[in-house]
A and B are shown apart, each in its own frame.
Chain A
Amino acid sequence: MKFCTVKQYFDDENNNNVTNGIATTVIPLPNKHLKIKANNKEMEQYEQELLRNVMPQELTKLILAANYLNFKEALDFFCRTVANAIQNKSVDYVRKFFGLESDFEPGEEEKLCKEFAWSFEGVDED
């Protein structure tokens, strides 16, 4: 039973975690999974289709939804997608993506970057 929390969700009047738009994307997934369970390639294509219509930043909302709904497959899928998207990006891009700010002391960040300078080679331009 994939949706342990869905019942709770519908019973819960005051729900901020999952907006309607997100729900429509996430909830059909298990049915689709079952239909094309054996065929990995088709699943991949479906996933690519799905993501083409979704902005990268929206992915974090999808992840939150999948996490809240305790939907392991979707969580794995969305996390993998995010990981692939940010894998070769710069530190600034990642900060913007997740809405994070640098909280290092001045000079501390620079020291860290210098220590592993090789990891900054070949990074995508922002």
Chain B
Amino acid sequence: MSDYLPEEVVLEILHRLPVKSLIRFRCVSKSWNSLITTPAFINSHFSSNSSNSNKLIVRHCVDKPYLEHYKLIDDNNDSSSDQIQHIDFPLTSSRINHFMLIGSVNGLFSLFELERYVLWNPSIRKFITLPNPCISVKTHGRVKCRSAFGFDPRTNDYKVVRIAFRCGTKRTEEAKVPLVEVYSLNEGSWRITSAGDSFSPGISFDDWGRPSASLNGAVHFVVNDRDDNFCPLVLSFDLGDEVFREISVPNGAFGMRDYVHTSVIGGSLSLLCHDTYRHTVNNCCSIWVMKDYGIVDSWTKQFTVNLDGGLIRVLGLQKNGNILVEAELPLHWELSSYDPKSKQVKNLGICGRPYYFCVDNYMENLVLLDKPNDAVSKRGASRKRKCRDKLDSSQHFSICLLTSDEARVHLLQEAREQQQEVVQLEETVRQQQEAMLYQQEAIQQQMEKMASFKSQLEKAADFKSRLAHLIQRLGGPGWRHI
């Protein structure tokens, strides 16, 4: 049978196929391969299938070896352990720790370590390493960065935002205003923006190390304004016009010491406010949802979750109304599902490092499929994609040093060994510091004992001399002088 199917009909069929099948069917023919990998198809396939998500993806990190894993669980029911699908993250961090999660949107994750950014698409099991950012230690000195990852639906572009504050010995006015650079996946490069102009100097971030929320073409952070009585706010950075804006939060929603971060729940901007960072009484988490984006009056307190009984923090909501939490068990930390009606907590058998869990809607997405493979392109090649600012000579020098693969591997190994040594040394130092502290305490106690003994002696001597005087006065002849 050799009926000719017009391309538009083939596309209709391809649009209705899941990602795994599409990846496999690239091998059917050259024309199918090119149809499946065009950016237009990648975008339209995602649009027509994005509402089909009925799974959640869980990121969890294990120690020694420092790996991270991704698991798919059912959004509607609690999956039994044999229904959970497992996806391995192919990279190990080159330092003794896990990658930091910058953010996730449309099924795509952005991860970071040292000055290396990675975009990871678990539904097609592909990652790419971004070229080096423009702002680095070599070009701008030591900087402290807040990064974010978001999607701009106006241009169908995924962007990584890097907000860099210069570190210096003096906290000058200049240091409070950050340099902002943005990476665009469509363009494949970093670019320094003038967004610092719209950043109020009094703003400081309250949610370091936590992923930002991407919604409506902007990324959102939790901040406070030093110049306004440390008033808490949500700061948004629009990925289109690259301008910072502030969104007020409801009064009393949270304070500076609370563990708060932004999230997207049911398509709305949300705040997960954990009452306190450490385990104390009245441990709870309030979930605020902004029903109408941008309308401050629409902030609604949707849930309050009681975190007593070893629940560390809230990770997200399931469609069946259960709340996903990180639970502390006697020997480990585990992802659990909390039913607010029955107040029952069910452990889902997914263990990992606390505060490194992340839960998001699982969305099948072909994005990154048309990008060159990271394994094939060497680091040298990716550095060729220069950022728009000029590379200075010192960066050039380090590039020459690393073009040889062997040298690179050797350097990585050395670095790894050195880091391990550093960790061991730090541990020894810590132990010795503890021992010193203990000794200091012991000395302190001894001195206190001596002081009290001395005072007792003094009292006794004093008593003795008074007694002697008394006897002298009382006595006449017959009493000897003592």
Contacts and interface: CB of A to CB of B under 8 A. Distances in A.
B24 A120 contact: yes
A123 B6 CA distance: 27
B169 interface: no
Contacts of B24: 91, 116, 119-120, 123
A94 B3 contact: no
A61 B28 contact: no
Interface in B133-187: none
Contact of B27 (A98, A101, A109, A118): A109
A101 B12 CA distance: 20
Contact of B5 (A60, A75, A88, A112): A60
B128 to A, nearest CB: 14
A75 B29 contact: no
A95 interface: yes
Contacts of A115: 373
A112 B26 CA distance: 8
A91 B3 contact: no
B28 A79 contact: no
A99 B29 CA distance: 11
Nearest to B21: A87
A25 interface: no
Interface in A48-102: 57, 60-61, 63-64, 67, 75-76, 79-80, 82-84, 86-88, 91, 94-95, 98-102
A95 B26 CA distance: 11
B33 A91 contact: no
Nearest to B124: A116
Q: Decide if the interface of chain A is mainly helix, strand, loop or mixed.
A: helix
Nearest to A67: B9
A63 to B, nearest CB: 6
B266 interface: no
A118 B451 CA distance: 75
A103 B30 contact: yes
A118 B3 contact: no
B464 interface: no
Given A87-B18, A118-B125, A99 B2 contact: yes
B125 A64 contact: no
B29 A102 contact: yes
Contacts of B26: 112, 116
Nearest to B18: A87
A10 interface: no
Interface residues of A, number: 35
Nearest to B16: A83
B303 interface: no
B443 interface: no
Interface string B1-45: 111011011101101111011011111111111000000000000
Given A64-B5, A64-B9, A102 B125 contact: no
A111 B379 CA distance: 22
Contacts of B1: 57, 60, 99
Contacts of B12: 63, 75-76, 79
Interface string A23-59: 0000000000000000000000000000000000100
A113 interface: yes
B25 A83 contact: no
Contacts of B13: 63, 79, 82-83, 86
A94 B28 contact: yes
Interface of B: 1-3, 5-6, 8-10, 12-13, 15-18, 20-21, 23-33, 124-125, 373
In the A-B complex, list the 3 residue pairs whose CB atoms are closest, starting with the nearest.
A83-B16, A99-B2, A119-B23
Interface of A: 57, 60-61, 63-64, 67, 75-76, 79-80, 82-84, 86-88, 91, 94-95, 98-104, 109, 112-113, 115-116, 118-120, 123
13 contacts: A63-B5, A64-B9, A79-B15, A83-B16, A87-B21, A98-B5, A100-B29, A100-B32, A103-B30, A116-B26, A119-B21, A119-B23, A120-B24
